[in-house]
Amino acid sequence: MFRWMVNERDWIYKSIFLSYTDPANTSILFSLSIMMIVWIIGYFMDKKKLYV
């Protein structure tokens, strides 16, 4: 169903995060960056009073 999303996340994970950090820290760094992106989007939506 969301096959394109898995491929993009896999590409970002392997090409950006895995190439600069060791595998032990890559997973936590990737998850924290995804969480920050979602929180930033939520912050701007809250400032504009856009609630879904």
Residue 15 is given by DSSP the state: I
Question: From CA 50, how far away is CA 2, in angstroms rounded?
Answer: 25
- The pTM of the full predicted model, rounded to 2 decimals, is 0.69
Q: Which pLDDT score, from 0 to 100, does residue 2 have?
A: 57
Q: Which tens digit of pLDDT belongs to each residue from 1-52? A: 556 556 778 888 888 888 888 888 888 998 999 999 999 999 999 999 999 8
Sign of CA dihedral 36, 38, 43, 48: positive
Q: Nearest CA to 34 among 51, 48, 16?
A: 16
Contact indicator for 31, 23 with CB cutoff of 8 Å: no
| Helices and strands per DSSP (H, E), number in the chain | 3, 0
Q: Which pLDDT score, from 0 to 100, does residue 3 have?
A: 60
